[in-house]
Each structure stands twice: as C-alpha cells, then as structure tokens.
Amino acid sequence: MLIYFAGPLFSEAEKRFNQHLTDRLEAIGYRVFLPQRDGIELNKPPYDNQTIEERRIAIFQLDVSKVLEADVFLFILDGRVPDEGACVELGVAYGQKVLQNRKKLLIGLHTDVRAVFLDSKLNPMLSVPLEYVAESEDELVRVLKQYKESGALD
C-alpha cells in the first residue's frame, strides 16, 4: 500500500520529522511517497536544466499523480496553519475518492495544541474530508498498522 505524505517540508525540523515518521511507516510495511525525498530535486537531471516555471509544473504534475496513485493520503496538520500545498492535495484526494468511488483512506496527524477555531482545532474544510485525525505519532502508526491488516478503521 502506498501512502502519500502531505505536509510542510521546508525547515530542517520538518524534514527530520517527516523522514522519522516515514521510516516508522515503512517499517510496518507501507511504501511512502515523501516529496522531500522522492520528489523533484533542483540539482539533479533533468530538473537542474529547467526554468523555474518548468520545475513548478513538474512538481505539480508529479505530486498530483502520486496523490491519485496512493491508497492512503496522510496530512501532517501541525503548524500555525496547515501547509497550503497539502490543502490542495487533500482536495485532489477527496475529489478522487468521492467522484470515482475510490477506496482511499484520508487521515491526518495533528499534535499541535493551538486551535484556529473557537470550538475546533481545524477548519471544517480540512476536518470533514479526513476520516480520522490522530493526536499522536504512536496513535497514527497504530491506526495505520490496523488499517493495513484489516482494510478498515475501527
């Protein structure tokens, strides 16, 4: 089963956390598309010879294709606000699931205690499409392990 790993990936701390969590998910038998590791690298062919616009298009096309290919869409929701690219990717994954009746798990990880809304930690445009939001890394790994084994959430 393939997981698309969506979330912030720009700071050293984000990159380290993403790789750490990816290692845990791969250890329980998932394949993970981690954009910071598996995506477009600016200094490697053919991307090193592309214009900025060509690279942007290549990143978009690759990420969308991997979102559509994935069996599980994982959204890391931590931060002051959720990553805007991951928000678009959630829309793509949700649209595919609903419009194509595709079996695809949409799951989030939100360990951040900051709340954006008075009665909720997340905007409904994020919380409603997600089938499950784990509040800890261990909870997420446990739920995904169970999903891999049974094909369902409890």
Tens of pLDDT, residue by residue over 10-50, are: 999 999 999 999 999 999 999 999 999 999 876 788 888 88
User: How confident is the model over 54-112, as pLDDT tens digits?
Assistant: 999 999 999 999 999 999 999 999 988 899 999 999 999 999 999 998 899 999 999 98
Is the pTM above the cut of 0.85?
yes
What is the residue whose two structure tokens read 């214009």?
Answer: 51
| Domains of the chain as residue ranges with CATH | 2-38+66-150 (3.40.50.450)
Q: What is the mean pLDDT of the chain?
A: 92
Strands 72-76 and 31-33: unpaired
CA dihedral for 102, 34, 17, 149, sign (positive or negative): positive
